Amino acid sequence: MSVLVLVEHAGGVFKKKSLEAVQYAANIAKATGTTVTAVAVGDADNAAMQALGQYGANKVLHTTDSRLNEFNSRAYTKVMLAAAAKEGAKVIVGLHDTVGKAVTPRLAARLKAGLVAGAVSYPDLSKGFVVKKNVFSGKAFAYVNVTSDVKVITLMPNTYPVVKGEGSATVENLDVTFEDKDFSIKVVEVSKASGSVPLSEAELVVSGGRGMKGPENWYVLEDLAKELGAALACSRPVADSHWRPHNEHVGQTGGTIRPNLYIAVGISGAIQHLAGVNGSKTIVVINKDPEAPFFKAADYGVLGDAMEIVPRLTEAVKKFKGQ
């Protein structure tokens, strides 16, 4: 019996959010007196898999089929089911991201397991297996007691800081026999996210909304982001209008981020937007409407026109850096 965790890599290298999931699984394993088995698929790098031991994995099960380099919820579920059977897993951890949100419900259904989607705490074992999760787009929390034999959890990314320790995981092959129907979903195109700082891992984020009026004005946000070394994000209508790429869209239907600093420019602060950013440590809101709901969630608010305020902020950052 072990705690199973699905890890994701890009070009063989594990993403920070996966290291967080391994660490999360390791802490559950510690509390329940068991070990952690990570499950990696596709062309994962061997040294990187071993290095998952530094975050608490004891073992990595690796299914090498190169077709798994492209995400496929059916095939990934099959791998996880095989791993769960091999390990006799009672707790399975995934991330509350595109991959985890697609795989874990399938897995939970197949295993007749209770599923907590979007966990923001470790299970409280003193009361059963109680996990805190976001509900109503982050407006409230629910405490869910999972009573099924097998328990599946997706962890909200950036809930816990990742701490690197010592250790090396053993890597074992996990052979899975696939059928053609497992790959009936075809990935037609993969668009790589641009920008030097990946949004999901960024400590500083500059984000724009419809108040920016159009893509031609984005240069002011790009200048500020460049000076700060920040990633760019946006509200959903901005991505829907093709002003910015969809990978920059944050919120209930986009990415969930928890940077140290989130600067929201010309964004009203709708509940669906806040759902993706209200875990940010410090929120700065720049808006010309004093009644904008975002001001209620802000640590600092600047009332004014984005095209006037943001360049002044960029100049101030430049000046500060020059000192």
Count Cβ atoms below 10 Å from residue 313 Cβ, excluding itself: 20
In this complex, which beta carbon is closest to ligand FAD, that of residue 86 or of residue 210? 210
Residue number with CB closer to ligand FAD (56 or 276): 276
Question: Which listed range, 101-109, 172-180, 270-278, 313-321, lies at the site for ligand FAD (CB under 6 A)?
Answer: 270-278
- Which tokens go with 40? 């990696």
Q: How many helices (H) and strands (E) does the chain have?
A: 9, 16
CB of 266 to ligand FAD, least distance (A): 4
Q: Nearer to ligand FAD by C-beta: 17 or 78? A: 17
According to the binding rule CB under 6 A, does residue 105 interact with ligand FAD? Answer: no
For ligand FAD, which stretch binds (CB under 6 A), given 11-19, 71-79, 106-114, 261-269? 261-269
Q: How far is the CB of 202 from ligand FAD (least distance, A)?
A: 17
Straight-line distance from the first to the last Cα atom of the chain, in angstroms, rounded to the nearest whole number: 57
Q: Which residues contact 13 (CB under 8 A, 6 or more apart)?
A: 45, 48
SS3 of 131, please?
Answer: strand
22: buried, middle or exposed (CB in 10 Å: 19+, 13-18, 0-12)? Answer: buried
The Cβ-side half-sphere exposure at 184, using a 13 Å CA radius, reads: 4
Among residues 106, 210, 226, 246, which is the contact residue for ligand FAD, using CB under 6 A?
A: 210
Binding status of residue 253 toward ligand FAD by CB under 6 A: yes
For residue 292, state whether it binds ligand FAD (rule: CB under 6 A). Answer: yes
Segment near ligand FAD (CB under 6 A); pick from 40-48, 49-57, 97-105, 284-292: 284-292
**280-292 burial: b if 16+ Cβ within 10 Å, else e:** beebbbbbeeeeb
Q: Which residues bind to ligand FAD, rule: CB under 6 A? A: 209-211, 235-238, 251-254, 266-268, 270, 272-273, 276, 286-289, 292, 305-306
